Amino acid sequence: MILKRSIFTLQLLLISYLPVMAAEDGKLLYGQMCAACHGMKGEGIGNGVFPPLNGSEWVQGDPNRIAQILLHGLKGPMTVKGNAYNLAMPAQGSLSDEGKVAVVRYLKKEFAGKETKFSLADLQKAKIASEARTLQWTAKELLELYPLPKVKSPINNLIMEVYHGKWNEIPDFSKLTAVAVEEEHDGLISLKNINKRDSFGLVWLGDLEIPSDGTYELELMADDGAVVSIGDKEVCAIKSKGRIHHKHVKKGKITLEQGTHKIKVQYYQAQKGKGISMKLTDLKVKDKTKATIWLSDHAEPKKPAPVIDLTPTDGKTRMYRNFINGSTHRTMGVGFPQGHNIAFSTQDCQPDLIWKGRFINAGKHWTGRGQGAQNPLSNNLIKLGQGVAWSKHGKELNLKLVGYTMDRMGNPTFNYKATDMDITFSEQYLSSEKDLTRLITIISAKDQVIQLRLAKGHPPILSKQGATINNLLNIDAPLSIKGDLLYSSINLKKGTNTFKVTYSWKK
């Protein structure tokens, strides 16, 4: 046993003298392995689909927390910067030990603002400490070992007055008698110690420390009603003379000098749920992850929709008819089993988006009434341009969708017509491992020339194989370029005409 310990100690000493990748190598590896989900600036890709790292409490504190996520991954529900997530991050097994150390160092420096001396020897200790683990970590398990650092509250001397009563609007608490007065040692506006569900009111009083002169925006969320005053000014209020029964959000602005200001928060709960959260944002600070000051524990984040990944796994094409970010309100998403995906606007009768990789998460719209548009699940996304793509003499055709059909493998054919001239269109999409083919059949009542816009907003590069967009997507068809517009002129003959466009992705 003594010999084994001596050998292990010697190994750690030797490892500690091995060269470690430089910070720029950590940035490169982060870009290759992490940025597709978390963004190069750590902002979190997909408008809230993936969690941010910049300013995240998960990057603060013990670097072993990051190391264990790289070693074994992380899955299940968790809260990041007040927002709830329920995703699965795989272990980064393709990263070498040196690479893992470089990424840990880069994350700490870039997104936590602190250098770390985390070394290969530290990584080796982390591997040994969790060598028996075969599953991804859950947030609960990991935080039991490496708790998140406590953030110092900007509110000092905070007390909470508790009132019992039934109200449908904020009462005049000064005329009521509190049933309890408690000190809030965490300095945060919180309901975690309130066991009563309905018919109560709260008043918090404290000293708010403002770090610098400036104009601040206060965002208040409450169910049912709340009023926030700083100094002698009412900054933000959610008021109702009827029962609210769901969360409302209000914002207000106030100019504050550096120093201490009295803050008063009044809140009432009628029935059916409870919740309050508050944050201040310094409007002069561009990086909002560093400008935001939480005044509450925001302990009741909205429950995330379950992940319903529609990426085809059975060899058949998947269809998703709902709001997709970057397309119109009437859109049909199509995910092919070979990894090609499009968002076809049934309003404008043309593909607005094309991407490679995973298809889309339907959890937002297939459970409850999820608001807003959903983002594709891949970062390899090209926006082909919105609006009607077919034109004649520079004038857009007036198109109307007639319907669509699917073959036995689910591949769609979209049928539409130009109502202002006698032309009908039929677009069939066929996918292979190599490319995605768009077969267009056009029936014209006469000989004429029309144009098809294939991409807009991306300066294309022409070659013998067609054109390349964003150094990612190849488009193969008879092509012309005008500025950032990529289009085809099609000489129609009276009767049936065919036209083919092939999309492929650069490796």
- List 318's β-bridge partners, or say none: 335
In a 3-state reduction of DSSP, which class is residue 268? strand
Mean pLDDT of 253-262: 95
List, in sequence order, every residue forming a beta bridge with 341; answer none if it has no partner: 335, 355
Put simply, whether the predicted model's pTM sits higher than 0.95 gets the answer no
Question: Above pLDDT 70, what percent of the chain?
Answer: 89
H-run or E-run covering 436: strand 436-444
Among 94-98, 117-121, 291-295, the minimum mean pLDDT is found in 291-295
Residue at 314: amino acid letter: D
pLDDT of 370 reads 52
- Name residues whose C-beta falls within 8 Å of residue 141's C-beta, 6 or more positions apart in sequence: none
Q: How many CA atoms lie within 13 A of 5 on its CB side?
A: 2
Q: Confidence class of residue 24 from pLDDT cuts 50, 70 and 90?
A: low
**pLDDT beyond 80 at 293:** yes
DSSP structure string for 314-356: SSS-EEEES-BTTS-SSEEEEE-TTSEEEEEETTTTEEEEEEE
What DSSP assignment string belongs to 62-100? -HHHHHHHHHH-EEEEEEETTEEEEEEE---TTS-HHHH
pLDDT in tens, 36-53: 889 899 988 876 678 899
Give yes or no for residue 73 having a pLDDT over 80: yes
CA distance 179 to 330: 55
Token duo for residue 377: 């699940």
Q: What's the one-letter identity of residue 272? A: K
Q: Hunting for tokens 């602005």 — which residue is that? A: 253
Say how many C-beta atoms besides its own lie within 10 A of residue 36's C-beta. Answer: 15
pLDDT attached to residue 290: 65
Are 467 and 481 in contact, with CB atoms under 8 Å apart?
yes
Nearest to 105 by CA among 30, 16, 193, 201: 30
Give residue for tokens 């607005």. 352
Q: Would you tell me how many other CB atoms lie within 10 Å of the CB of residue 260? A: 14
Give the pLDDT band (50/70/90) at residue 289. low
Residue with tokens 């998703």: 320
Residue 137 burial class via C-beta count within 10 angstroms: exposed 0-12, middle 13-18, buried 19 and up = buried
Q: Identify the residue with better confidence: 243 or 501.
A: 501
Contacts (Cβ under 8 Å, ≥6 apart) of 470 = 382, 458
Residue 173 neighbours by CB under 8 Å, 6+ apart: 161, 163, 201, 203, 266
Residue 389 makes CB contacts below 8 A (sequence gap 6+) with 348, 349, 350, 452, 453, 454
